[in-house]
Chains A and B, each alone.
Chain A
Amino acid sequence: MTGNESIAAIAWLDNAQGIAASAPFPDPALPDEMIFEETARQFDARLPRACAVGLALNVRLLREHYLTLLGSGR
């Protein structure tokens, strides 16, 4: 590991650990409707219910990528 690489990686990991602790995603085990409602709260419930299934699917997908970024996914 070079000096610069080490600094970048360590700084990044420190930051990642801080954010991971804040658990920024709804529990993926929740039903679609509950993930939708939890997410929709951020938008003052202005989202149409027709989006519930697709939104929940995509929130779970982003959570997967978030965990991968943190190094706990693939």
Chain B
Amino acid sequence: MSTSQQAMGVEDCVRAVKAGEVSAVELAQAALKRIAAQDARLNAVTRVLHERALAEAAAVDAKIASGEDPGPLAGVPYGVKDLCDVEGLSTTAGAARLRNARPAAADAEAVARFRKAGAVLVATLNMDEFAYGFVTVNAHWGTTRNPHDPDRFAGGSSGGSAVAVAAGLLPFSIGSDTNGSIRIPASLCGVFGIKPTHGSLPMEGTYPFSHTLDDIGLFARSSRDLALVDAVLRKMEPAAAAPLQNAAILEGWFADNLAPEMRKAIDRLDRAIGPLPRVALRGVAQARSAAFLITAYEGGQLHCEALLADAMSYDPSTRDRLLAGAALPRDVYDLALAYRDVFRAEIEKAFEVHDVLIAPAVCGPAPLISHPYILIDGAERPARANLGLYTQPISFLGLPVVAAPLSVDGLPLGVQIIARLGRDAELLRYAACLEEAGLLKAIAPNQPR
């Protein structure tokens, strides 16, 4: 069991460790073996933490041997996007220029909470440099590949975190989402992800990008696993929340530019649980553009001095985007920020009638790495900057979203399940209901569907 090609899920790991069927050290060793065997073709992992993983796992086993409670995530191996502090390591944020930065003096708060809960940190995971991209193509650390088809993008910027879970290297992982960086790779790799209500998960010890929009979040292969690790991060018991009712499907902006397979998949979901009402929001294009401008401005300001001092140490794709952002006038940024009030009023009207809004997370299946474009209004646009077409307007308002893989044949496709601020637990429960009904499903690569 512990040496299989696929990691067990979170719940199964905890149950097996607590029952004495497998030790935490055996689970950690198995995860290390899977990474050694499989990551060369995926490039999800930036650093393997052998020593730390085995020490944390041994501590869990010692607690069990002495009759102590080993914690709600006893012995569960996991990985972290390379922008969360790990004590004793440089936090690279995917940048070569930070490779030899002063090592973190302490774990990020999220990592500390998982350690206290008995989880075992095994690896740091690849990302677009400074989280500025939707593809996980990194000039220094390489391209992370989609486990369902290594010729395709994993999505980004938390591509390493998504792939580590989708490929079965690890049961769960930490990522971050500013404009879609959890929702897009989750959808392209066929796993569940949560972008929480803005500011509701601990950000201490994470490398920033755009403070107005940044959140950390999680990946797992089931909504139950996602709810379990989410609750640990919030220091709460997994909520027995009532599922939300009155779902609707977003159309208009969210129905334009869909690939035929995505359109069919959403129609199939609609037939299974509906027919659901359709809601067209006004001002979505403006909301997406406002998010784009806020990100560019805040990212540009954050990096401006370093860019002027040493622009050539940046990944060229990131550098030129950050430089353009650094040149944005302040009043354009203020205008973009102010648009939130306008768009919030629009979406509130939808939430007066519906508890849940469902929208595509991506246009279609993962684009080919050799042809890095998506079609928007009939024109090919770079995937790196544009895969967030449907995700940016939602995170613009800080809303909680579960990215959920549709049960489909072929390459993975995911939807965003969206609720009001603060309803994260109810949202996870709603996703679990759809998963129990067979409408959502994480499918391991190369396994029968």
Interface residues of A (CB under 8 A from B): 2, 4-5, 8-9, 11-12, 15-16, 19, 22, 24, 39, 42-43, 46-48, 50-51, 54-55, 57-59, 61-62, 64-66, 68-69, 71, 73-74
Partner of A12, one of B285, B320, B342: B342
Q: How far is the CA of A39 from the CA of B334 in the complex (A)?
A: 20
B324 engages A61 (CB within 8 Å): yes
Q: How far is the CA of A33 from the CA of B367 in the complex (A)?
A: 31
Which residues of A have CB within 8 Å of B332? 19, 24, 66
Which residues of B have CB within 8 Å of A47? 307-308, 311, 323
Q: How far is the CB of B327 from chain A (nearest CB, A)?
A: 5
Given A5-B345, A12-B338, A66 and B327 contact (CB-CB distance below 8 Å): no
A interface footprint on B140-151 (CB within 8 Å = 1, 0 otherwise) = 000000000000
Q: How far is the CB of B295 from chain A (nearest CB, A)?
A: 10
A15 engages B338 (CB within 8 Å): yes
Which residues of A have CB within 8 Å of B345? 2, 4-5, 8-9
**Closest residue of chain A to B331, judged by CB?**
A19
Which residues of B have CB within 8 Å of A61? 324, 385
CB-CB nearest 4 A-B residue pairs: A54-B320, A58-B324, A5-B345, A65-B289
* Extra inter-chain contacts (5) besides given A2-B349, A54-B319, A58-B324, CB under 8 Å: A15-B334, A47-B308, A55-B324, A65-B293, A68-B285
Confirm or deny: B290 has a beta carbon within 8 angstroms of a beta carbon on chain A.
yes
B335 engages A74 (CB within 8 Å): no
B320 engages A55 (CB within 8 Å): yes
Which residues of A have CB within 8 Å of B308? 43, 46-47
A69 engages B293 (CB within 8 Å): yes
Q: How far is the CA of A42 from the CA of B300 in the complex (A)?
A: 13
Q: How far is the CA of A70 from the CA of B410 in the complex (A)?
A: 40
Which residues of B have CB within 8 Å of A55? 320, 323-324
A interface footprint on B293-337 (CB within 8 Å = 1, 0 otherwise) = 100100000000001100110001101110111111101101110
Partner of B323, one of A5, A8, A58, A68: A58
A69 engages B289 (CB within 8 Å): yes
A19 engages B335 (CB within 8 Å): yes
**Closest residue of chain A to B308, judged by CB?**
A46
Partner of B339, one of A22, A39, A46, A69: A69
Which residues of B have CB within 8 Å of A64? 289
Q: How far is the CA of A43 from the CA of B317 in the complex (A)?
A: 19
Q: How far is the CA of A21 from the CA of B294 in the complex (A)?
A: 20
Confirm or deny: B377 has a beta carbon within 8 angstroms of a beta carbon on chain A.
yes
A15 engages B335 (CB within 8 Å): yes
Which residues of A have CB within 8 Å of B385? 61
Q: How far is the CA of A32 from the CA of B336 in the complex (A)?
A: 26
B339 engages A12 (CB within 8 Å): yes
Which residues of A have CB within 8 Å of B336? 69
Which residues of A have CB within 8 Å of B329? 22, 24
Q: How far is the CA of A39 from the CA of B292 in the complex (A)?
A: 19
**Could you list 12 A-B pairs, sorted by A, with CB under 8 Å?**
A12-B339, A16-B335, A39-B323, A42-B327, A46-B308, A47-B323, A54-B316, A54-B320, A54-B323, A59-B327, A69-B290, A74-B285
**Closest residue of chain A to B321, judged by CB?**
A58
Confirm or deny: B286 has a beta carbon within 8 angstroms of a beta carbon on chain A.
yes
Confirm or deny: B51 has a beta carbon within 8 angstroms of a beta carbon on chain A.
no
Confirm or deny: B68 has a beta carbon within 8 angstroms of a beta carbon on chain A.
no
Partner of B324, one of A2, A24, A62, A71: A62
Partner of B293, one of A22, A51, A66: A66
Which residues of B have CB within 8 Å of A5? 342, 345-346
Q: How far is the CA of A50 from the CA of B315 in the complex (A)?
A: 12
Which residues of B have CB within 8 Å of A58? 296, 320-321, 323-325
Q: Which B residues from 364 to 388 make CB contacts under 8 A with A?
A: 377, 385
Which residues of A have CB within 8 Å of B377? 74
A51 engages B327 (CB within 8 Å): no
B320 engages A68 (CB within 8 Å): no
Partner of B289, one of A9, A19, A39, A68: A68
A48 engages B293 (CB within 8 Å): no
A8 engages B341 (CB within 8 Å): yes
Q: How far is the CA of A39 from the CA of B385 in the complex (A)?
A: 21
